[in-house]
A and B are shown apart, each in its own frame.
Chain A
Amino acid sequence: MSEPNENRTDRDFDPEQAQSALRESIERVNDALATLDEAQKTREEIFELVVSV
């Protein structure tokens, strides 16, 4: 259960490296949030389904 792309060290703070790492994170997070936004939409047709077995 390892996360991808988590290979940076935190010993020395380098603003440029941090900026770049954050930009990469923003891209991944935005992608994940968009997926969740889409997943949260429940279609109207779902409410019309008949559960009958």
Chain B
Amino acid sequence: MSLPSVVVAPFSQESFFEALECPCAVSEVAANRRVSYLLDYLREIGAKTIVVEEEYVDGDYLDDYASFYVKCFEDYPKRCKRLHFFAVETSSAQFLQIVTNRAEGTITRAFADAYLGFVVARPLPKAVIGRTILKTYPSASGRRNYTCTKMYRANLFGLELQIESLAYQEQDRALAACATVALWACFQKDRDLFQSLSPTPATITRSANTVLEDARPFPSQGLKIEQICNAIAAVGLEPEVIEVKPGIPLVSLLYGYLQLGAPVLLVVRIPDVGLHALTLTGFSLNPGAVLLLEGADPGKTPPLVGLRIDEFYAHDDQVGPFSRLKVIPPTAVGQTVKFAGGWPNELTPVAIIIPLYTKIRLGYLEVLKWLWRLRGLISAISPGGSVEWDLFLMTSNRFKSLARAGEAQVPSTELEAILMKGHPRFVWRGVFKRDSNLVVELLVDTTAMTDSFPIYRLWWHDDAVKASVQQLLKAKAVETALNELLTVRFADFLRAA
């Protein structure tokens, strides 16, 4: 019985293209945009060695194969190749020593630590890039936030390797168009966050098409947004659909969901091309403001954290994993932000679709309304300054961990109650800062109904503002105005806070 074939080579354009060669010719591989992107990406993250598993059974491809390719007249192979990348130089002999456990422990550990991830090469014409799991770019002192990643494990001839990433693949146009693979990437992370299903592309397209459509499901011609929603419901999640309009603080809204680690499916219009879907996986948060506008009218919407975000990171099946999506701010009120990245034209956002746990019922915009009531109260009593409002989803367990570690800056008077009392599993956390100092912070129950009062904890960091608020809340002369501004329940809640 012959041993499985493996190639160990220095990473280069030639070795990468050669590894992807079958069944595409090298010239076809070189013409694939995703391959060029991956070549640059791997160079940037420091790939030094490529290890090619010549025979690899990939679960996602196998399902696609069973659903479609096996029934083609042409004889498509059912096995793929898997290309692994390492940030250290290794010879074939040394690699063999490592996998057979004959190398020194330090060498094996250094080799495993230098793992950069893998690319599954499908035996398909054109759509050669299958499941791809690669290390993200470095964090750049905390600016780059790849929040929608998870830990993946790879077993290379018995050697356990792991990588923090989010799976990517390009569409094959037979079983999956862009919307299907964008959903497939979302569901990978959602499974970790919400314990939902993480189906293969073929299953996603099939479940989406239980909503009858004019076009046949296979070969896939794309999905209606209604079908995308159907595919989300099929994995046990709820689709939060938001039409992009000028009144929405779009960048802050996207950030609000991405902070939880929930991938966001962004539908964009590309001039002369059509509607395209990509999966947002992270954002670049700067220390200071980088945008003047983010879609909402600054006269009506106070500054939000989104003004500090200059780019998002997206799995764009026609560009590559973690591709940069630069935010192009509106030049005037009444316009939305646009994006630039990987396409010759600007991308105009049309809709946002977020697969969410069924009990996350209150959306970002609904919670923002309560923040604006509070903002109305604070701005009525307190002097200005450089202000920023922040609103994002997180798990209450994560918040407790941060509070225990002192990273959430919870006042000592609040700490015990926050740690010991029950919370909803997911919460919206709202934070108001002035001149970079915390003023007030609150937690919002995501399971609440739209018409209920959802804020369940609030604490002040600024004693002077708190005293002024309490003084105002006790003044009978302004009670009617306060109730109108805040609602009776919110006013009562603040009196007790």
Contact = CB atoms under 8 A, between A and B. Distances in A.
B80 interface: no
A5 B379 contact: yes
Contact of A18 (B307, B351, B472): B472
Interface of A: 1-10, 13, 15, 18-19, 21-26, 28-29, 31-33, 35-36, 38-43, 46-53
A25 B383 CA distance: 14
Interface in B216-270: 221-226, 228-229, 241-243, 245, 247-248, 267, 270
Interface string B268-294: 001001111100000000000100000
Query: Which of B274, B372, B382 has its CB near the most chain A CB atoms (within 10 A)?
Result: B372
B355 to A, nearest CB: 15
B481 interface: yes
Interface stretch (B12-20, B44-52, B296-304, B392-400): B296-304
B93 interface: no
A49 to B, nearest CB: 5
Contacts of A3: 302-303, 379, 384, 387
Contacts of A41: 243
A48 to B, nearest CB: 6
Interface residues of B, number: 69
Contact of A22 (B222, B464, B471, B481): B481
B376 interface: yes
Contacts of A5: 379, 384
Contact of B482 (A22, A28, A38, A47): A22
A51 B228 contact: yes
Contacts of B99: none
Given A1-B289, A9-B383, A26 B222 contact: no
Contacts of A7: 383-384
B178 interface: yes
A39 B275 contact: no
Nearest to A4: B299
Given A4-B299, A33-B372, A18 B380 contact: yes
Interface in B446-497: 464-465, 468, 471-472, 475, 477-478, 481-482, 484-485
Interface in B134-184: 177-179
B422 interface: no
Nearest to A21: B380
Q: Which of A1, A2, A10, A41 counts the most chain B CB atoms within 10 A?
A: A1
Contact of B365 (A4, A39, A46): A39
Name which of A24, A33, A46 has the most chain B CB atoms within 10 A of its CB: A46
A6 B274 CA distance: 45
B366 interface: yes
Contact of A19 (B245, B471, B481): B481
Contact of B267 (A26, A29, A35, A51): A51
Contact of A53 (B178, B369, B380): B178
B223 A39 contact: no
Nearest to A24: B380
A22 B481 CA distance: 6
A20 B414 CA distance: 34
B225 A49 contact: yes
A10 B468 contact: yes
B300 A28 contact: yes
- Residue in A15, A28, A41 whose Cβ sees the most chain B Cβ within 10 Å: A28
Nearest to A28: B376
Instruction: Name, among A2, A7, A41, the residue most crowded by chain B CB atoms within 10 Å (CB to CB).
Output: A2
A26 B484 contact: yes
Contacts of A6: 379, 382-385, 387
A29 B373 contact: yes
B388 A8 contact: no
A35 B152 CA distance: 43
B472 A33 contact: no
Nearest to B292: A1
A16 to B, nearest CB: 8
A27 to B, nearest CB: 9
Contacts of B485: 22, 25-26, 29
Contacts of B243: 41-43, 46
